[in-house]
Structure 1
Amino acid sequence: MRPAMLLPLIAFAMAGCAQWEKPGATPQMRDATLARCEAAAFNMARPENITVMTDRGGWVPGSRECRGEGPNRRCRETQGYYRGPSYSTRDQNEPVREAFVEDCMRRDGWVLR
């Protein structure tokens, strides 16, 4: 996995259990600082959605499934088919914004715990 793809995954994993903390700060102070940092990050790196292939598709082979023995043996066959590629949209600037927000918060004295 490329490092650029790993950063959002790490940030997502940390978001569920981590929170910004600063000695003596209130949750309202944290929210205000985070909002300021997120706004600055958004202005610095606007969303830039790109289309990416998530599954290249390909030939799905048919199958044959048989049950029973001797004269009671029954088989069922399925035809193979072509499954086309799948695509989704990804914001290529999201890792940049996340790094900017983290840097902004840390420069203001906040620690992610």
Structure 2
Amino acid sequence: MDNGFATQRHRGRALLAFCLLPVLAGCTTWVKPGADEAAADAAQTHCKAVSYGQLPAQMQSSTTRGASYSERKKCEKNSPNGCTKSGNRYYAIIKTSSDANSEGRDAIFRDCMYQAGWRPE
């Protein structure tokens, strides 16, 4: 029997990550007394450049096993990244990538904004 649960779980994680992306991507509204939107945009652009200058993107790739199939053809049909065999089962290959420096860069960005007198709203 094919197990689509693993695929659904990975889709759920992808959806969660997609929903959280705006939060993690710096969609915070920054305010500073007497400053307008143009000043906020300029400060964010500056601090983003500072954070990338100190911690450039460091992409990491990983490969994991996904859904399990009893037949190779079914696995290959449902897995664009191919399949791997273990015992008498075929497993979809799931490839992901992430930026190892994103959290550190976010901290540098926030610190830069705070030091310039900005506060999240």
TM bucket normalised to smaller:
0.5 to 0.7
Over residues 56-106 of structure 1, what are the superposed CA-to-partner deviations in whole Å (9 max), with x where a residue is unaligned?
2363358xxxxxxxxxxxxxxxxx951232011111111111111011101
* 1:35 and 2:45 matched: yes
Q: Which has the higher helix share?
A: 2
Deviation at 1:52, TM superposition (A): 2.0
Number of the residue aligned with 2:111? 103
One-letter amino acid matched to 2:65: R
Number of the residue aligned with 1:56? 65
Cα distance, 1:101–1:10 mapped onto 2, change above 3 Å = farther
Cα pair 1:57 1:82 within 8 Å, conserved: no
Over residues 20-46 of structure 1, what are the superposed CA-to-partner deviations in whole Å (9 max), with x where a residue is unaligned?
011110111111111111111111001
One-letter amino acid matched to 1:48: Q
Number of the residue aligned with 1:87? 95
Deviation at 1:13, TM superposition (A): 2.9
Q: In 2, distance between residues paired with 1:15 and 1:91?
A: 12
Q: Which runs of 5+ in 1 are unaligned?
A: 1-8, 63-79
One-letter amino acid matched to 1:83: Y
Identity of aligned residues (%): 28
For normalisation by structure 2, the TM-score amounts to 0.59
One-letter amino acid matched to 2:32: K
For normalisation by structure 1, the TM-score amounts to 0.63
One-letter amino acid matched to 2:66: G
| Matched position secondary structure for 2:28 | coil
RMSD: 2.8
Deviation at 1:18, TM superposition (A): 3.2
Greater gyration radius? 1
